[in-house]
Amino acid sequence: MRVLGIDCGTERTGFGVIESDGRNHQLVSAGVIQTSAKAPLGVRLQEISREIRSVIARDLPVAAAVEEVFYATNVKTALKLAHVRGVAMLAISEAGLELGEYSPLEIKTSVVGYGRAEKRQVQVMVKSLLHLDQPIESEDACDALAVAVCHATHSAIRRKLEGVRA
């Protein structure tokens, strides 16, 4: 299955598309949507929405996944991020994609095998899981790929369990 992962942010939104059977993952595309720092939020949301839609149209994922929004550190930042997340979820829903939502703990556990893994460990594991020669430089794109890997893995397990139950 082809999965789009999105790492939402008002300034930089990472995206990553993988092709995966739940165990073997291949990189399709990855990048960062950088919005104009001085632009009002409405314009930024427009930029983010346009880019996500164009990635979906180009790479044709059948599923997408986003991180759950949490507010342990800064409520104002979390509220801004929720605006972006709403716009991302709208684009995903409009495209008719299956949507997965995962906590940072679930994503790290799925990718590194350890829920409190550091950024660097996620980067190393994403490189390894996608058989890349070089690590993904952008932290946002790497986090987006981690979300995609998490969803592909969870989906495969869910399908297997449904097979057992059937």
Among 6, 45, 52, 63, contact with its own copies (rule: CB under 8 A):
45
Please measure the distance between the N-terminal and C-terminal CA atoms of the chain and give it in whole angstroms.
21
From 51, 106, 140, 143, the catalytic residue: 140
Question: 148 near 17, Cβ under 8 Å?
Answer: yes
From 51, 67, 106, 143, the catalytic residue: 67
Among 62, 82, 157, 161, contact with its own copies (rule: CB under 8 A):
82
Site residue total, its own copies (CB under 8 A): 25
From 7, 51, 106, 143, the catalytic residue: 7
Q: How far is the CB of 49 from its own copies (least distance, A)?
A: 6
The candidate with the shortest Cα–Cα distance to 17, out of 8, 30, 7, is: 30
Question: Should residue 29 be labelled a site residue for its own copies when binding is judged by CB under 8 A?
Answer: no
The region of 18-26, 55-63, 93-101, 122-130 touching its own copies under the rule CB under 8 A is: 93-101
Among 29, 31, 53, 78, contact with its own copies (rule: CB under 8 A):
78
Annotated catalytic residue 98: no
Question: 143 near 8, Cβ under 8 Å?
Answer: no
Contacts of 150 (CB under 8 A, 6+ apart): 5, 65, 100, 102, 106, 107, 110, 111
Contacts of 41 (CB under 8 A, 6+ apart): 10, 80, 83
- Exposed, middle or buried, 21 (CB in 10 Å: 0-12/13-18/19+)? exposed
Annotated catalytic residue 7: yes
Catalytically annotated residues: 7, 67, 140
Site for its own copies, rule CB under 8 A:
40-43, 45-46, 49, 69, 71, 75, 78-80, 82-87, 89-90, 92-94, 99
